[in-house]
Structure 1
């Protein structure tokens, strides 16, 4: 018998993807905006009752830090793959700092703006909203957001950070394809040509970032028409594809000063892998991080090799606890996909619970 319902589903999905407004509306987990401002909007993804319950249980709020050139929606990708919803549903209170749109007008922003101003300000905002001023947060960062989280923890002059989670965060650019060659080619001129180009551009514009990100999964882009054609009746599968496509279209750009510092400090001078970085006079020593850290890596990640992520185990020598977990998935899949749901999220839960235990143990000894 002819499957009329399946044919109807296929036709509806085809219309929605081509001439309609999409298969599903843009997703956004219910939240409260607790602060706005220049590149530092902070949202809380829990209601007042959930905040009171988490505070009574002695749980620290979790501040999620996005990468510079990816939207903060990475933590709320879809109903099934929302990091913030999962944290809320497990009794945590998640906050997200949103850096917003990056334009040429922001070309003077560098790493110090984020790690010594914007993120510490977001930490203060989260703690004030959580009614725990003088307390601590757990930082949680994906990709370059993990780098920013670690640098913030290293630069912090107070005790406002309790632990750090990084997902698919490269900490040794020697282990990323292409970077050692780029350093070798640039060595005779000290990278002057690339530096001049970056200054001329004022950073890396959003369209270039979007194209570059798609290029890392070029096989997915080439296969997409066939994928759609063979999955037209599978609405849930197409919803996930649509959510990823929307996410990629929202990528902002890199501010000029920051990308120049990445080029000179992290790539040319290899200071990230060594652990001590100098950003125009602001020295950050990653060896000084003295809080528990959970790292994640994958052999299937096209943007962050397993070795580049695993380097943190030896790099973060001052931490009392450094855990590394391998979850074989794509760069985004490590954070928000079926593999993340099955492996990354439960591991983060266990890690945060263990940090709760460490804090309780210290408190009982005082």
Structure 2
């Protein structure tokens, strides 16, 4: 949520000029007459595959633009609405990709209910993500898929691609956006860590999520808002200060809609995330215990691009950058620091000039490669760019 970009010059804007007054009046009138300023129309899409908590969509080509190149699959994080990728017109990663002519696909999960409480992480890692990748590749004529996962969507993608049970997936590259790997580096959890370490077995948290069948929508929404508490508190002042800024107000509306559409976590999956990530911090060591096997991130043999948000409280830069030294099997690992918080780095107003352009460059770099020249080739020289990770925050 990018809500505190206040006027930075002391004294500036205290007495609004005529243009500001007209713009503010126009914005207020438009909001009263039409209910809002943001263009929240979703990009048109078609369902191409579905299963248990699995829906795969293909976004229709934009106007006269012809689809070319390898397909892109956007992996939605569990409990978040898929509008994270299609927030509003003008700040929609989907819109950007489609208008660039890229074949664009989305994986989402639909509503999670109490009857889904027995589903664990293996459902997404073994079945949902691998099936979606294969379906997209087939729909796109057998081309390799460039996977983009935000937050937990990035973690599920990492694990699915690393998992030997998935077999060789037709993946051209993987991009993870704001996916915390070492949660010990998340300051938001620091006050709760003594409690997490103290509670074992069926503690109060475990009993609550088992009784509820997971983490319900209101709790998920509250947790997301808590991560941006300062911005939430200053939101009324920020809105009042920017009442003449149509783009700013539209972004606030779009973020509010996103937050109001959070989805519940299935009980067993929430339990695994709680015990193995929040408490156990398993992925910090590069491996993850799932059922009767160990998934090792070093098994990932495709190029990986990772983004950290400069003001992300949920997945701070160090927590995301921790993935870089673990990807020893990848032919290239690139890490970028971009402006924004957890959602803003993906689809904030600054993302149009930073995150999306890097994604374009990355996908183009790793597109159109066959088995003999692809990143899968064992003779290709490995190059890690982690030590020279660039910052795009300026």
Do both share a fold (TM > 0.5)? yes
Deviation at 1:28, TM superposition (A): 0.5
Q: Is the counterpart of residue 295 in structure 1 residue 312 in structure 2?
A: no
Aligned counterpart for 1:93 among listed residues 96, 103, 110:
103
Q: Is the counterpart of residue 339 in structure 1 residue 350 in structure 2?
A: yes
Aligned to 1:15: 32
Deviation at 1:267, TM superposition (A): 2.9
Aligned to 1:71: 81
**25-34 vs 117-126, which moves further:** 25-34
CA distance change for structure 1 residues 2 and 339 in 2, over 3 Å: closer, same or farther? closer
Aligned counterpart for 2:335 among listed residues 305, 324, 333:
324
Question: 1:173·1:180 contact (CA, 8 Å) conserved in 2?
Answer: no
- Structure 1 length normalisation: TM-score? 0.89
Q: Counterparts of 1:153-168 in structure 2 under 5 Å?
A: 153-155=161-163, 156-168=166-178
Deviations 1:280-301 (A, max 9, x none): 2243111111110000113311
Deviation at 1:178, TM superposition (A): 4.9
- Structure 2 length normalisation: TM-score? 0.83
Deviations 1:64-88 (A, max 9, x none): 1011011111111111111112122
Deviation at 1:222, TM superposition (A): 1.9
Aligned counterpart for 1:36 among listed residues 35, 50, 55:
50
Aligned mates of 1:191, 1:313 — CA distance in 2: 32
Aligned mates of 2:372, 2:180 — CA distance in 1: 32
Q: Counterparts of 1:55-204 in structure 2 under 5 Å?
A: 59-132=69-142, 135-155=143-163, 156-179=166-189, 182-193=192-203, 194-204=205-215
Deviations 1:178-222 (A, max 9, x none): 546645434455353032332122111011111111121122222
Deviation at 1:309, TM superposition (A): 0.4
Aligned mates of 1:173, 1:273 — CA distance in 2: 8
The structure with the greater share of residues assigned to helix is 1
Aligned counterpart for 2:361 among listed residues 335, 339, 350:
350
Aligned mates of 1:286, 1:200 — CA distance in 2: 33
Deviation at 1:33, TM superposition (A): 2.2
> Which stretches in structure 2 are left out of the alignment for 5+ residues?
1-16, 380-394
Aligned mates of 2:23, 2:109 — CA distance in 1: 43
Aligned mates of 1:220, 1:188 — CA distance in 2: 31
Question: 1:13·1:232 contact (CA, 8 Å) conserved in 2?
Answer: no
Deviations 1:226-271 (A, max 9, x none): 2333333333321111111001100101111111111222233321
**2:187 aligns to what SS in structure 1?**
coil
Deviation at 1:362, TM superposition (A): 0.6
Aligned mates of 2:357, 2:62 — CA distance in 1: 25
Aligned mates of 1:303, 1:254 — CA distance in 2: 17
Aligned length: 356
Aligned to 1:225: 236
Aligned to 1:237: 248
CA distance change for structure 1 residues 49 and 124 in 2, over 3 Å: closer, same or farther? farther
CA distance change for structure 1 residues 180 and 314 in 2, over 3 Å: closer, same or farther? farther
**1:32 aligns to what SS in structure 2?**
strand
Question: 1:13·1:233 contact (CA, 8 Å) conserved in 2?
Answer: no
Aligned mates of 2:58, 2:251 — CA distance in 1: 24
Aligned mates of 1:188, 1:209 — CA distance in 2: 23
**1:350 aligns to what SS in structure 2?**
helix
Aligned to 1:27: 41
Two-structure CA RMSD over aligned residues (Å): 2.6
Question: 1:61·1:92 contact (CA, 8 Å) conserved in 2?
Answer: yes
CA distance change for structure 1 residues 228 and 266 in 2, over 3 Å: closer, same or farther? closer
Question: 1:141·1:166 contact (CA, 8 Å) conserved in 2?
Answer: yes
**2:94 aligns to what SS in structure 1?**
helix
Deviation at 1:112, TM superposition (A): 0.6
Question: 1:50·1:91 contact (CA, 8 Å) conserved in 2?
Answer: no
Aligned mates of 1:234, 1:181 — CA distance in 2: 37
> Which stretches in structure 1 are left out of the alignment for 5+ residues?
none
